[in-house]
Structure 1
Amino acid sequence: MSEDGRGRHETPNERADRRWNELLQEVRVAQTGAQILFGFLLSVVFTPRFTSLSTFERNLYVVTVVLGALATGALIAPVAYHRLLAGRRLKPELVDATSRVVTLGVVLLALTVGSALLLLLHLALGGPLSWLIAAVVMAWFGLWWLLLPWLLLRRNDDRPGD
């Protein structure tokens, strides 16, 4: 903490380096989950049961795979950003841009999980119960991934940034 208790003693470049390293640690967790889920989703089309899916189930599968591809792409984007911008003295801009795309990737990952869950529950249970369970799980994601962090930000909006 600085002497006034409101921040760190770091230069803008040190701050950008710290934020970049923190972002990479966060991305490693989300990236792994997205890639594993996407890999499993890709294999589904090659199973014998795929041909017996209803039109709704096939369409839901396609939506799920596309969401998984978008999530994976967004969560891998920091690698491309870094490769294209490294050494150009744009670290603060790099961190800000990749932070936004990673946030999008996390939202897409939540939608992928929700869509995959709905597909699985629809196949296992059918009917409105599958929709209800998927909705409850998505609400749980929304609570922990979006609402609570947003409330924390609002409660502490008078504090300086990280």
Structure 2
Amino acid sequence: MSQAEDSHQRRLARNLNELLQELRVAQAGVQILFGFLLSIAFTDRYAHADNYVRVTHLVTILFAALSIALLTAPAAWHRILFRRGRREDVIEVANRFAIWGLANLAVAMTGTVLLLAEVVVGGPWAIVLGAFAALLFGTLWFALPIRERNRDSTDEDDEPEDEEDRSE
């Protein structure tokens, strides 16, 4: 194996390890959220909840479940394609799954805030708090990073960068 190929493989291994570590953080959060959402259905108060709360709860659980599926899929892909020379493919697919998993997690978190706000304060304030949660997640998780990525893209046009210096 050439030195360039060895360097490329090391970078891929590092990228995959970083991605899997990031997913571990998100997975823990979504699994705790999922458990919390499941436990709600077994409370006395839930038995008397109206259809709006029940539908919000179900939709939120479905987004949390989809998030779990997307955030854990990269580990399955890695394990199934292990030592098949497909690390680059795994990283590409895992990155997409991670982004979509985080998007679904943001919706699930927003739904959870909306659900709890509906039970605690109800009415328009619940919707305001749910909208605030959606705005917060959308801004911190997507709008700001995308803005930074686009800024990097315009900077790349100005200054050529050595491919070896990029780890992502």
With normalisation by structure 1, the TM-score equals 0.90
Aligned match of 1:53: 49
Count of matched residue pairs: 155
Structure 2 residue runs of 5 or longer lacking an equivalent are: none
Q: Write the letter of the residue equivalent to 1:62.
A: L
Higher helix share: 2
Counterpart CA distance in 1 for 2:131 and 2:45 is: 25
Q: State the 1:11 CA deviation.
A: 2.4
1:1-162 paired onto structure 2 within 5 Å: 11-157=7-153, 158=156, 162=168
Asked if structure 1 preserves the Cα contact closer than 8 Å seen for 2:60 and 2:108, the reply is: yes
The one-letter amino acid of 2:75's match is: V
- Measure the CA separation in 2 of the matches of 1:152 and 1:10: 30
- Runs of 4+ aligned structure 1 residues displaced above 3 Å come to none
Q: Distance in 2 between matches of 1:41 and 1:140?
A: 21
Shift of the 140–10 alpha-carbon distance from structure 1 to 2, 3 Å rule, reads farther
Using the TM superposition, give the Cα deviation of residue 51 of structure 1 relative to its aligned residue in structure 2, in angstroms: 1.1
Distance 2:19 2:69 in 1: 16
Distance 2:47 2:152 in 1: 53
Alignment partners' CA distance in 2, 1:64 and 1:133? 15
Once the two structures are aligned, what percentage of the paired residues are identical? 36
Shift of 1:10: 6.5
